[in-house]
């Protein structure tokens, strides 16, 4: 049972690098998949959504073009490319998924990608995951690959993961794509449950810029087998998946467009878990908070303000706010703090802002990056 990877150049947008990639399993897999909730879904998302209950063996991916807002003909292109991939791999057409990332509203150069398929098929290799990761990058500055092993009573398993982009609920136009493969034969219902739960607290709890792409997709592939799986295997699988998704989340934030910081926003003692999510997300996505992070400005007032308009139910007079070990606002009262000491503390790259709502027992964490000049530059100059 092997997972193989390859990449090729189709000159879709970038002419000096690979932009087409293939993931292949030499055995049928179950897939758990999560897709963008945007109403405007790219063609590859629509195609893959139809196939998540199939046994899957391959995913064809391209960068440089999102194949979004391309109508029925864009969908037909995605379907045709999946079909050509299936023919090349001698597998069932319905066992191929697709994913795209890049500019919206331009038709995919199908002929050039089709030409790359034989190359992709011929060069498949267990050790080419980094080539795969590089080929699917857009505004990413580094490829993002994770690998972890775990054992149960009898076997040793490997989990490998690739990601590109900036965030699931809040990704930039570059789209979040995640591919995770594991050779442990976890049942599909278990995969689905665990994948959704962990994604919620990792990829769905990070913010670069608050936009939600047309192409976001996360895939988890495990061998489809009738084998029964022990409790221990499932626990180890879950732990490994969590580790991989936490590591990928950190890498995604660190490589956020123009980002110079990775800051954890922790909201504690909210009335409901939904309130904790709302408040942490609102703070994490506030442009004023993000620019303050960039400016190393311990402007906790902007944090209080963003919590206030989040929709979470709490009494501002009971709220407390800390940055790292420094309490800046406690039970609704301004604290005396050494401003230059706090400024020095937040000049580091990673730290935590904690907001205690004192309204209940629920907590949530959200990862955020800062917004820098570089962010504006990248997004003012990208595309067309």
Of 329 and 366, which has the nearer Cβ to a copy of itself? Answer: 329
Say whether residue 339 binds a copy of itself (CB under 8 A).
yes
- 175 Ramachandran zone, left/alpha/beta (phi>0; psi -120 to 50): left
Contacts to a copy of itself from residues 219-258, by CB under 8 A: none
Q: How far is the CB of 351 from a copy of itself (least distance, A)?
A: 16
Say whether residue 383 binds a copy of itself (CB under 8 A).
yes
Cβ 160 vs Cβ 172: under 8 Å:
no
Cα dist. 26→147, 219, 227, 293, 355 in Å? 19, 17, 18, 47, 49
Cβ 191 vs Cβ 182: under 8 Å:
no
Among 125, 287, 325, 348, binds a copy of itself (CB under 8 A): 287
Q: How far is the CB of 238 from a copy of itself (least distance, A)?
A: 30
d(CA 237, CA 256): 28
d(CA 284, CA 205): 9
Q: x/- site string to a copy of itself, residues 85 to 114, per CB under 8 A?
A: ------------------xxxxx-------
Say whether residue 70 binds a copy of itself (CB under 8 A).
yes
Contacts to a copy of itself from residues 164-203, by CB under 8 A: 172-173
Say whether residue 304 binds a copy of itself (CB under 8 A).
yes
Block residue for tokens 């493969």: 181
d(CA 85, CA 117): 6
175 is catalytic: yes
In 3D, which of 284, 48, 281, 269 has the Cα closest to residue 177? 48
- CA 95 from chain centre, in angstroms, equals 23
Contacts to a copy of itself from residues 109-138, by CB under 8 A: none
d(CA 236, CA 334): 45
Among 217, 299, 368, 369, binds a copy of itself (CB under 8 A): 299
Of 159 and 306, which has the nearer Cβ to a copy of itself? Answer: 306
Say whether residue 327 binds a copy of itself (CB under 8 A).
no
- Residue 195 has which token pair? 């994948």
Give the 3-state DSSP-derived string for 182-231, with helices as H, strands as E and coil as C.
ECCCCCHHHHHHHHHHHHHHCHHHEECCCCCCCCCEEEEEEECCCCCCCH
Of 72 and 228, which has the nearer Cβ to a copy of itself? Answer: 72
- Residue 234 has which token pair? 């499932």
Contacts to a copy of itself from residues 359-378, by CB under 8 A: 371-373, 375-377
- Residue 335 has which token pair? 């604290």
Q: How far is the CB of 146 from a copy of itself (least distance, A)?
A: 27
Among 179, 219, 314, 366, binds a copy of itself (CB under 8 A): 314
Please tell me which residue in 20, 175, 202, 233 is annotated as part of the active site. Answer: 175
Say whether residue 333 binds a copy of itself (CB under 8 A).
yes
Cβ 315 vs Cβ 325: under 8 Å:
no
First and final C-alpha spacing in the chain: 43
Q: Residues in the site for a copy of itself, rule: CB under 8 A?
A: 36-41, 66, 68-72, 103-107, 172-173, 209-214, 286-288, 291-292, 294-295, 297-302, 304-309, 312, 314, 316-317, 319, 328-329, 332-334, 339, 343, 371-373, 375-377, 379-384
Q: Mind telling me the catalytic residues? A: 175
């Amino acid at each position: 049972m092997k997972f193989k990877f390859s990449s090729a150049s189709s000159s879709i947008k970038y002419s000096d690098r690979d932009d087409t990639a293939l993931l292949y399993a030499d055995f049928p897999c179950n897939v758990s998949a999560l897709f963008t909730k945007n109403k405007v879904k790219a063609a590859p998302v629509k195609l893959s959504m139809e196939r998540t209950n199939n046994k899957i063996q391959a995913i064809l991916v391209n960068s440089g073009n999102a194949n979004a807002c391309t109508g029925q003909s864009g969908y037909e292109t995605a379907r045709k490319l999946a079909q050509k991939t299936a023919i090349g791999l001698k597998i069932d057409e319905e066992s191929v998924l697709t994913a795209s990332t890049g500019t919206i509203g331009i038709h995919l150069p199908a002929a050039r990608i089709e030409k790359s398929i034989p190359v992709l098929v011929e060069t498949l290799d267990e050790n080419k995951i980094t080539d795969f990761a590089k080929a699917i990058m857009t505004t990413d500055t580094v490829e993002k690959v994770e690998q972890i092993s775990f054992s149960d009573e009898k076997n040793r398993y490997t989990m490998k993961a690739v990601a590109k982009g900036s965030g699931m609920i809040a990704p930039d136009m570059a789209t979040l794509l995640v591919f995770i493969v594991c050779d442990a034969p976890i049942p599909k219902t278990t995969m689905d449950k665990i994948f959704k739960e962990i994604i919620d607290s990792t990829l769905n709890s990070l913010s670069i810029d608050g936009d939600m792409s047309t192409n976001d997709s996360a895939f988890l592939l495990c061998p489809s087998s009738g084998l029964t799986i022990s409790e221990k295997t499932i626990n180890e699988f879950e732990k490994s998946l969590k580790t991989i998704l936490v590591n990928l989340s950190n890498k995604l934030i660190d490589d956020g467009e123009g980002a110079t910081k990775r800051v954890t926003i922790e909201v504690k003692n909210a009335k409901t878990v939904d309130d904790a999510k709302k408040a942490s997300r609102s703070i994490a996505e506030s442009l004023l908070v993000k620019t303050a992070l960039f400016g190393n400005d311990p402007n906790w007032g902007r944090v209080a303000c963003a919590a206030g308009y989040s929709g979470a139910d709490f009494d501002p007079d009971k709220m407390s706010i800390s940055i790292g070990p420094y309490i800046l606002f406690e039970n609704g009262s301004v604290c005396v703090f050494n401003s230059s000491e706090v400024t020095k503390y937040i000049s580091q790259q990673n730290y935590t802002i904690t907001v205690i709502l004192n309204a209940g027992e629920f907590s949530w964490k959200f990862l955020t990056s800062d917004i820098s000049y570089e962010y504006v530059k990248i997004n003012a100059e990208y595309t067309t």
